[in-house]
Structure formats: structure tokens, C-alpha cells
Amino acid sequence: MGTGIENADAGHVADEVASILNRVDDVAHKALGLAERFYEAAAGVRYPDDASGENARAVLQSHTENRVGQMDSVVARLDGLIAKTRAGVGVQREQDGASAEGLAEVAREI
């Protein structure tokens, strides 16, 4: 599977990585929303008023809470990774600008 990164220029690669991470983050946020809606729907299910009903409720509640928690953790980690990537893109752009200025100065001196 290709990454979609076509250009080897460092600044462009950083932009492409940030774009890919944003798309992944969007998907993760949607998955978290679905998990939360499933949790809400599961909470509204009617169970028999006996021990088996209570057990079924407890198992489903525990399972859905775990899944929502896992998705929330994934989203938080992705948000952190995206923030670091954006910071890296900014640093890369500064370095690219400094390099361009240095090359322009050399060109003027030649």
C-alpha cells in the first residue's frame, strides 16, 4: 500500500505526512463517535429481570466501556502525534527558508 508521498522534498514530505495523519485522525474520531453511540444504544437494551439478564448487562457494559476507552486513547495519541508533526512541519519550513536565504546569498556573491 502506497503512502501517497510523491515528492522527496523534505517540506513536502512533512506536509504529506501531516495530511495523512489528519485523514487517519478523522477516521479515528468517527470510529470513536460510533463506539459512543453503540454504548448509548446498548445502555437502552432491555434485559430479563434475573441473574442472566444482569450478567448480560454487565458483560455488554464492560465490553463497550472498554472499546470506547480504547478508541478515546487512540484518538488522544493521534492528536498528540499530529501536534508533533505540525510542529515538525514548522521547523522544516524554517530550515527550508534559511537554506533558501543562504543559497540566495551565495548566488548574489557569485
Instruction: Please indicate, yes or no, if residue 30 is contained in any of the structural domains.
Output: yes
Instruction: Please indicate, yes or no, if residue 102 is contained in any of the structural domains.
Output: yes
What pLDDT is stored for residue 7 in this prediction? 46
Instruction: Please indicate, yes or no, if residue 21 is contained in any of the structural domains.
Output: yes
In this structure, are residues 85 and 15 in contact, taking their beta carbons and an 8 Å threshold? Answer: no
Instruction: Please indicate, yes or no, if residue 2 is contained in any of the structural domains.
Output: no
- The residue segments making up the domain with residue 38 are 10-109
Q: Residue 23's domain is classified under what CATH number?
A: 1.10.287
pLDDT along the chain (110 residues), means of 10: 49 76 87 88 87 90 89 88 83 80 82
Overall domain count for the chain: 1
Helix axes 10-43, 51-109, angle to 10 degrees: 170
What pLDDT is stored for residue 51 in this prediction? 93
